Amino acid sequence: MQAWQVHENGEPSEVMRLEEVERPVPGEGQVLLKVRAANINFPDALLCRGQYQVRPPLPFTPGVEICGETEDGRRVIANPALPYGGFAEYAVADARALLPAPDALDDAETAALHIGYQTGWFGLHQRARLQEGETLLVHAAAGGVGSAAVQLGKAAGATVIGVVGGPEKAKVAQELGCDVVIDRRSENVIAAVKEATGGRGADVIYDPVGGEAYTQSAKTVAFEGRIVVVGFASGTIPSPALNHALVKNYSIMGLHWGLYAQKNPGLIPHCHERLTELAASGAIKPLVSDRVDLADAPAAVQRVADGVTTGRVVVVPGLRARTEGAAA
């Protein structure tokens, strides 16, 4: 089978090599899956760079989120067991952790549902307890993680403010349903949030960016508001001023979604049931901005790493052959 292998750490476009390898052999409690689609996540770039908290032995195949097919033909959602990741024709995963693919979503949309939307659901509902009628501010609202939070916030009945970088991403955020869109490149984020909320600020702030975005969050969070720290896509980990949190009466909440698999695994299928219901009703639908063939995976991972994409970019093995066949 074909698989992208990383033999040394570095930028994805430089270190990923397409190789012919043997199909992985499932270990105890694992299952072999045919990869129908593999969503690209920022951690895939970190894996290539050797900067992720999990460091599989070299060589490894990145790709931490897939829609796969079991040997008996079932469509499932899985997080492949590294080093046999999803940027390949086959991967392996923990059999107990498989989740059924929602009928309402195609393969690429299904591949983009799990990590981003579970993270959003846990962040907004399990951690921040977002309530109907509250104001939710989402940083990087047009990105893969942010777009999921926007849709989940709207589904919960919140007023959603989306912060983006540039007019193209502003348009995407508007199409996602943001009530207010702020372009951080041309607007003063702090002033714009205060104007949009009548000076009150946002009840819940969803931050996958860190750096300057966190500074803006601390200045725009409402009384008894909640800042949910999801990640640091900016590359800068902020140092919160706890005296400021004390004076303004707000909470700073961390969210490590993967920890629930160890500490409270029953919540993950519960969340998936809620997400499946929302997908069936049309309330959520992963924004897949680009579908690429397996051969084009490194460039696509690099684009996600560079922060120039909107929504999700999904690798679909065999896409080019199917497209060329349809055009013939």
DSSP string, 70-85: -TT--EEEE---TTB-
Task: Tell me if residue 261 falls in helix, strand or coil.
Answer: helix
10-residue averages of pLDDT along the chain (328 residues): 97 97 96 98 95 92 98 97 97 97 98 96 97 98 95 98 96 96 97 97 96 96 97 87 92 94 94 98 96 97 92 93 65
For helices 144-155 and 167-176, the axis angle rounded to 10 degrees is: 30
162 phi/psi in degrees, rounded to 5: -110, 130
Q: What is the pLDDT of residue 324?
A: 67
For residue 232, what are the CA distances in angstroms to 112, 146, 181, 255? 20, 13, 21, 12
Distance (Å, whole) CA 108 – CA 65: 11
Q: What is the pLDDT of residue 234?
A: 84
Q: What is the pLDDT of residue 325?
A: 63
- The first and second tokens of residue 261, run together, are 């698999």
Q: What is the pLDDT of residue 204?
A: 98
DSSP string, 185-226: TTS-HHHHHHHHTTTS-EEEEEESS-THHHHHHHHHEEEEEE
* Helix %, strand %, coil % of the chain (to 5): 40, 25, 35
Q: What is the pLDDT of residue 236?
A: 87
Distance (Å, whole) CA 233 – CA 211: 9
Give the closest residue to 299 by CA, choosing from 44, 36, 33, 37: 44
Q: What is the pLDDT of residue 136?
A: 98
Question: How many CB atoms lie under 10 A from the CB of residue 74?
Answer: 12
- Strand-pair category, 288-292 with 312-315: parallel
Q: What is the pLDDT of residue 320?
A: 77
Q: What is the pLDDT of residue 292?
A: 97
- The first and second tokens of residue 107, run together, are 């393969």
- The first and second tokens of residue 278, run together, are 């929302």
265 phi/psi in degrees, rounded to 5: -65, -25
Question: Residues 289, 310: contact at Cβ < 8 Å?
Answer: yes
Give the closest residue to 115 by CA, choosing from 295, 261, 232, 262: 261
Sheet containing 135-139: which strands, arranged edge to edge?
180-183, 159-164, 135-139, 202-207, 221-229, 251-254
Distance (Å, whole) CA 313 – CA 302: 11
